[in-house]
Amino acid sequence: MRLEGKSAIITGGGSGIGLACAKRFSDEGAVVAIIGRRKNKLELAAKDIEGRVLPIAGDLTNNNDLDSLVSKTLHAFGKIDIVVNNGGLFAGAPLHETKDEDWNIIMNTNINSVFQLTKRVLPHMMKSKTGTFVHIASILGLVAAPGVAAYNVSKGALLQFSRSIAMEYGSLGIRSNAICPGLVKTDMTDNLMKDKELMLEWSKDYPIGRFGDPEDIANACLYLASDESSFVTGATLPVDGGFTAH
């Protein structure tokens, strides 16, 4: 049980990568708080997770909801050992056609909310002198794709944010690492992956010969959240079937 006695917050925990992480962490002994916007989906997810799970409906871009998330997690579990910043939004348009409000929505969801949650959790980790952040970024934080500039920038910023935490709080026993998934089969990518011709073309960029499953990312998160990675911080781990290897 690699996470026995640990308490975790997983954002976007009602489906996809977040739900896979919640299941994996619970299987390894952690108690888990999951947050997402849709209450019904969270409650269904909670029933699908073995072990102790706390579903909390909320909007990551609402600071009051983040206050409630931290407060409820501490009340239920007494501490916060792990935060998986997984919640995010993917959208795009040509840069010259990107509306200010659309740019801001991406930034508020993918990076500003991570900052707001992190600054709320850090004082509790500093007090206990232990804690681990795992940030779900993207291969598009490492390389750029056309038509999704706001997303590229938000995920690139998340990588630097992760390194900043590692540098500033490592001496207090707090670690921070990021994972860069390639294309993963989730609700967010479902419509995209229905384009079989496009998927056939894109698959040529994946040396391993397939796209990812949420469990592939959850396994990497488990490693970075566990004591097995106690000497790993400030790292960026591509989990992308080899996409960024060429």
CA–CA distance, 118 with 85 (Å, rounded to integer): 9
223 is catalytic: no
Contact 132, 81 (CB under 8 A): yes
The CATH architecture one would assign to domain 7-238 is: 3-Layer(aba) Sandwich (3.40)
Work out the average pLDDT over 8-35: 97
> What does the H/E/C string look like for the chain?
CCCCCCEEEEECCCCHHHHHHHHHHHHCCCEEEEEECCHHHHHHHHHCCCCCEEEEECCCCCHHHHHHHHHHHHHHHCCCCEEEECCCCCCCECHHHCCHHHHHHHHHHHHHHHHHHHHHHHHHHHHHCCEEEEEECCHHHCCCCCCEHHHHHHHHHHHHHHHHHHHHHHHHCEEEEEEEECCECCHHHHHHHCCHHHHHHHHCCCCCCCCECHHHHHHHHHHHHCHHHCCCCCCEEEECCCHHHC
Looking at residue 88, its pLDDT comes to 93
Chain centroid to Cα 39, Å, comes to 19
CA–CA distance, 211 with 174 (Å, rounded to integer): 32
- Structure tokens, 245: 């290897």
Q: Mind listing the pLDDT tens digit for each residue in 44-57?
A: 999 889 889 999 99
How much of the chain exceeds pLDDT 70, in percent?
Answer: 100
Q: Mind listing the pLDDT tens digit for each residue in 73-94?
A: 999 999 999 999 999 999 889 9
Cα–Cα–Cα angle for 236, 203, 238, rounded to 5 degrees = 5
CA–CA distance, 142 with 167 (Å, rounded to integer): 20
Check whether 65 has a pLDDT greater than 90: yes
Looking at residue 49, its pLDDT comes to 92
Q: Mind listing the pLDDT tens digit for each residue in 130-175?
A: 999 999 999 999 999 999 999 999 999 999 999 999 999 999 999 9
- Please pick, among 151, 169, 206, 223, the residue that the annotation labels catalytic: 151
Based on its alpha-carbon atoms, the radius of gyration of the chain, rounded to whole angstroms, reads: 17
Residue with tokens 């299941």: 23
Residue with tokens 């490693």: 223
